[in-house]
Amino acid sequence: MPGLKAARQSNIKNGRSFRETVQFYMIDFKTPLGRAIDIIIIALNLIAVSIFVLHTYDLSSAQQEMLWRLEIAVVAVFIMEYALRLYGAPDRGKHLKDAYSMIDLAAILPTLIIMVLPASFFVYDIRFIQILRVLTVFRIFRFLRFVSKSHMLFGTISQGKINIARLVFSIIIFFFVYSGIFYFVESPLNPKVNNFGDAFYYIGSAEGHEYPNLQVGDEVDPRLSFCVNSKSINSCFF
């Protein structure tokens, strides 16, 4: 591949070790390969966020299965990215404690846990399933990495513009996370909140200030009842 060949030539020219080369291209934004990596990661972030949103809508079993397979593929790349960043980090202990590294790990864990643990485990712990479902909303925080420095894919930009970009991203992330959590809390009880779109609209409207309270004897979300009787762990998770 031309990109890899150019990377090897650059590596030889600059006298970097393989580990240093990995670290360089995982943070680089100037070379073609560095930009390509960033574009791929951003695209996968968008797909991961879209999968979360789509799973709040009524989908057929075939559509759920397709999205689940797509999520596995996306998370597999996230795992590879996480491993490469850890491998190339000059101080791996410090890297593990880094906020962005923790965000990357949080983006991986929900799907990884679903894949590793047996389906019978989730049947007896519905609350754990709910926690995993809520955690997937935080994958949007992965975008913060791309506005953490004074540059983007198209090059270095002024501090004023990067501050505006950070503000816009922060607002988008706030509403997205708030809507996601609102959906998981309200959808079992509020007939007006049936999907992510409803939740997003609801928190921005006057109606959003009226929150129904869960009382003893209230019906449990029928999706959780279905989960207990379901043979597919995908149905439990989504």
Tens digit of each residue's pLDDT (9 = 90 or more) over 6-41: 555 555 456 789 999 998 988 877 788 988 888 899
d(CA 155, CA 120): 50
- In whole angstroms, what is the distance from residue 34 CA to residue 43 CA? 14
Structure tokens belonging to residue 84: 């490469």
Query: What burial class does residue 224 get, using C-beta atoms within 10 Å of its C-beta: 0-12 exposed, 13-18 middle, 19+ buried?
Result: middle
CB 42 within 8 A of CB 146: yes
pLDDT digits (tens, 9 = 90+) for 135-168: 788 888 888 777 776 656 556 667 777 778 788 8
Q: What is the pTM of this model?
A: 0.73
Give the pLDDT confidence score for residue 66 in this predicted structure.
94
CA distances from 231 to 41, 85, 224 (A): 33, 37, 13
Confidence check: pLDDT of 185 > 70: yes
pLDDT tens digits, 37-86 = 888 998 999 999 999 999 889 989 899 899 999 999 999 999 999 999 99
- Token code pair at residue 28: 């680089």
